[in-house]
Structure 1
């Protein structure tokens, strides 16, 4: 395999390039065969690298290239305006590097709508793919993870699109988790066959009659984290609300627990002792390791980091992008979709 190059939008997100550089330094040490291109304000990035990367070997420094850009996509920018007026932004250039063959993947913590619009415009969808989708891992009760899609790229979907999401999600689960027959489920308002909108029922029939997916049936929102499916499929409106509702609940519980623990020294001592004994068992709950939503169905690898990601979380997004590029995920998705379409037409 040819040497892999990853483009990183260094200016996107809420925390700026400092967390990107910190994540990059860790990635250089973890992935010695990968080159990196930072897109953004060159003087600012050089200053950060000179300050934070003094200990790097000269061979590692040589694997970093900076592509200077003059614009930044802000989190409140409209995607349509970015397409027309921010063609020299750090986000746009990171995607252009894939389109031009200079990079095989990119990571950005910037404006999600702008990232999807730019990626769709410059990379195009794979042949046969109806719509790209955002997919991300979520933890489950077994200590592993499930994949949830779509997370907002397509607020409305027809049955054929939901079926394709199941096919693409199955490929990703096979490649990135090593599961030979990933269990596919549709997120619905109940598990009974008679429940839910017609489009979800039609998608269920398509998935159930396909030999390319291991379809399990419907799954309710209360079982998102139960580990009953390896891939959970829904439209982008439902998926985005489900994910953000879970994030909000987790944040509320965490904040409430933190306030309660601070109220008495004995509570703090007991939790500290319990955490030390159970640290490994609880490590799967660390949200940093699940950071990184992939925009799948395109002719290139694009990973969206959370806008407020820490350096550790951004590093996880880099890991996801490298894994997808190394497995040549777009080609594998294309091959599976092409196979499904050819058999549907025979």
Structure 2
């Protein structure tokens, strides 16, 4: 039986959206149990009578977005996030899910659960959309590390490629390095050295990729330093949101003829919006931690949390953490 520890108090829609998602996922995942951490009365009222394979651990504190991450996990010992992380550390649960403070989730991963021996730095990895398929691509790191080294990018690429193969079903995933040009000598020392490490690895490395090519689907995995990755991720999210908003506004607020046209292309518009439906990919995985740790957006609703639970269940089923331990434990 797999067990997922869930910070039920993280995010804007907690605990309602989280409990609703757990109840939906539980009906499908017959070999998975859930431990919810947070306000016992609120959670119990939302669960009702359906308590099979669901446990509640009462906590009295919640780490907020404005809290300083490391200080928060050290001083708020009875927070829903910290207690959930402790359960994973103590092997009372197999994985951690939270919608809360990203920095605190990262701090829990590093200082409580710990990293895989041989992995110098864990990295955050989401799955993002591409224009020519529903498969998307993985990008790592998107903000766990402000400073990076070439060997970090190699480690992240290896883990992300394995994830793409086992979780997303991509055979021999194409790996690229995000850079400011396609040529092998582009970029600063970090990117040039990372390029050489990736080129010499056993990965299916296809070279550099520029920012304007990310959504073309040329690569299944994109390695990048955490600072650049975070900036690019926010740009993709912001641009997608603005474009969809402008499209809807143009079609619905420009007179009756435009509205008739909108009805005629309704099916195509749904397909377009579906392409940028990041909820179906689940959350961002902290690859390199010694257990599956997944962060989903703070604004996530029931649907997004549901898909993230299914994502975690598959990660556990495929035992990818065991594979990472075998790959990296021999490194000094």
Fold shared by both chains (TM-score > 0.5): yes
Partner of 1:77: 67
Q: Provide structure 2 residue ranges, at least 5 long, that are not aligned to the other structure.
A: none
Write out aligned runs for 1:54-93 (5 A): 56=50, 61-93=51-83
After superposing the two structures, state which structure 1 stretch, 143-152 or 279-288, moved more.
279-288
Q: 2:195 aligns with which of 204, 211, 216?
A: 204
**Are 1:164 and 2:162 matched, yes or no?**
no
2:168 maps to 177
**CA, structure 1 residues 176+256, in 2 after alignment: closer, same or farther (shift >3 Å)?**
same
1:237 to 227, 230, 244: 227
- 1:111 corresponds to 2:109: no
The answer on whether the counterparts of 1:79 and 1:117 sit within 8 Å (CA) in structure 2 is: yes
Residue 279 of structure 1: CA displacement? Answer: 4.3
Q: For the structure 1 residues 37 and 218, does the alpha-carbon distance in structure 2 shift closer, same or farther, using more than 3 Å as the test?
A: same
Task: Report deviation, 1:26.
Answer: 1.1
Deviation at 1:38, TM superposition (A): 0.5
Counterpart in the other structure of 1:128? 118
Query: Displacement of 1:277 after TM fit?
Result: 6.0
Q: Is contact 2:176–2:209 with CA below 8 Å preserved after alignment?
A: yes
Q: Is the 8 A contact 1:167 1:337 kept in 2?
A: no
Task: Report the count of equivalent residues.
Answer: 330
Do the aligned partners of 2:283 and 2:296 also contact (CA within 8 Å) in 1? Answer: yes
Q: Match of 2:145, SS?
A: coil
Q: CA deviation at 1:261?
A: 2.2
Query: Any idea what SS the aligned residue of 2:126 has?
Result: strand
RMSD over aligned Cα atoms = 1.7
Q: How far 1:216 moved relative to its partner?
A: 0.7
C-alpha separation in 2, matches of 1:335 and 1:100 = 21
Residue 101, structure 1, aligned to residue 91, structure 2: yes
Q: Distance in 2 between matches of 1:250 and 1:265?
A: 26
Q: Is 1:83–1:114's contact at 8 Å kept on the other side of the alignment?
A: yes
Report Cα offsets for 1:120-154 as digits up to 9, x if no partner: 11111111111101001011122121100001001
Name which of structure 1's ranges 183-192 and 166-175 shifts more when overlaid on structure 2: 166-175
Change beyond 3 A, Cα 1:22–1:270: farther
1:257 aligns with 2:247: yes
Partner of 2:313: 322
2:323 equivalent to 1:332? yes
Q: Which runs of 5+ in 1 are unaligned?
A: none
Q: Choose from 300, 303, 310 the match for 2:301.
A: 310
C-alpha distance in 2 between matches for 1:326 and 1:8: 18
Alignment partners' CA distance in 2, 1:291 and 1:35: 19
- Deviation for aligned residue 1:317: 1.4
